[in-house]
Chain A
Amino acid sequence: MELKEQTAVQSDLLKSFEEKIGRDDAIEPKDKMPDAYRKHLIRQISQHAHSEVIGMQPEGNWITRAPSLRAKQILLAKIQDEGGHGLYLYSAAETLGISRSEMIEQLHSGKAKYSNIFNYPALNWADIGAIGWLVDGAAIVNQVSLQRTSYGPYSRAMVRICKEESFHQRQGYEIMAKMMAGTADQREMAQDAMNRWWWPALMMFGPHDSESPRSGDAFKWKIKRQSNDELRAKFIDKTVQQAEVIGLTIPDKDLKWNEARGHYDHGPIDWNEFYNVINGNGPCNKQRMDHHKRVHAEGAWVREAAEAYRAKKEKQLFQSKN
């Protein structure tokens, strides 16, 4: 084809793709889509999948030290869910033509990121409460919005995930509420965890809208439906009330209700810290990645044995037929 014809075909394809987006029709794996749309989704969905999986580490650290059998069962179930969320999302990304092995390679080489929040340590049991309540709480706000994302498999994974997430947040809030109803020491622990997790939780929504404008491809193609600041405000507005109910203080002296905006105003977020952690200098970056690489390598024999067993069974079946 002549270059001119090719460009004409390209722009026709883009036009029909954008018309589809305009009608709010979901895009499905076999549909034609611009390369940039596919790339954006692979990056976002794989990062999301890696976050679910790496997020199992700070909490997994507390399974053997949960304060009761009830607490241990709940934590195990919650962490198992997160593994499941990782799987839903890896599958969604696979429909775009990237393999699971490639995604894991990209995680290990540092090409693919995961949510910054999991580079912070879970120091004590109150942190398990704070993670469920604040970290899952922030994730839910984002994921509820992503249920309406334009790519069908991603949207369906989000719907499934959102159904499972509300238990995560509630079990965390219950831990915090119990501690706040306990001894002075327990209350102090809960407040300390709140103080350490509040700001990183706000950073989960990403840079301010002034830094990452609404006009980008992610909005145009309806991958993203609400801006970082809109989602952050949603999270703050509902969390402040929940903190009040159990007597926790939000560690932000500038936090106050803004009647005109209908949202809370908050103090400045320390973006230096945010970029510092993204660039590998958070308290646990190295630990998280080393752990994932080690466990992945240690599990290789299981996958190889499964393939060998399958091959053996197929051979037996073949021989019995001949």
Chain B
Amino acid sequence: MSADTQLEKWEVFIQSKPGANFVHAGCVHASDKKMALQNARDTYTRRGEGTSIWVVPCDAIVASNPDENDMFFDPANDKTYRMPTFYVMPEGAKAI
């Protein structure tokens, strides 16, 4: 008998209702796209949790490295002019 195979790993993303973001739900094993979708449905949407599913081969996902978080996310910290609260609005202006 050949070595045991547990098939490939796929990450599963589920949209809980139309218009919502796709949110990571977990992982399934499957040999191809169709099986991955079916397994994702059976594993993660047994109670109407979803209206749409994405499956992505795990090795296609690129993740940031937590060791480099400081450097990687730093550019966001000193640009407070990106926040609406940075601006001084004239007294009395409404609905802005």
Contact = CB atoms under 8 A, between A and B. Distances in A.
Interface of A: 28, 30-32, 77, 80-81, 84, 87-88, 91, 94, 99-101, 104, 156-157, 160, 164, 300, 303-304, 306-307, 309-310, 313
Contact of B31 (A28, A32, A94, A307): A307
B77 to A, nearest CB: 18
Interface in B1-42: 1-2, 4-7, 9, 25-32, 35, 42
Contact of B26 (A28, A32, A77, A157): A157
Contacts of B6: 99-101, 104, 303
Interface of B: 1-2, 4-7, 9, 25-32, 35, 42-43, 46-47, 63, 65-67
Contacts of B42: 84
A88 B26 contact: yes
B29 A84 contact: no
A65 B9 CA distance: 36
Contacts, number: 59
A310 B32 contact: yes
Given A80-B46, A100-B6, A306 B27 contact: no
A30 B63 CA distance: 9
B43 A307 contact: no
A9 B43 CA distance: 41
A94 B27 contact: yes
B29 A100 contact: yes
B66 A30 contact: yes
B46 A81 contact: yes
A307 B27 contact: no
Contacts of A91: 26-28
Contacts of B25: 160
A309 B32 contact: yes
Contact of A94 (B9, B30, B66): B9
A104 B6 CA distance: 10
B65 A101 contact: no
A306 B31 contact: yes
Closest 7 CB pairs of A and B: A306-B31, A91-B27, A100-B6, A310-B31, A310-B32, A303-B5, A101-B4
Contacts of B67: 32
29 contacts: A28-B66, A32-B66, A32-B67, A77-B46, A80-B46, A84-B42, A84-B43, A87-B28, A88-B26, A88-B43, A94-B27, A100-B6, A101-B4, A101-B5, A104-B4, A156-B26, A160-B25, A160-B26, A164-B46, A164-B47, A303-B31, A304-B2, A304-B5, A306-B7, A306-B30, A306-B31, A307-B31, A310-B32, A313-B32
Nearest to B30: A306
B31 A309 contact: yes
A306 B35 contact: yes
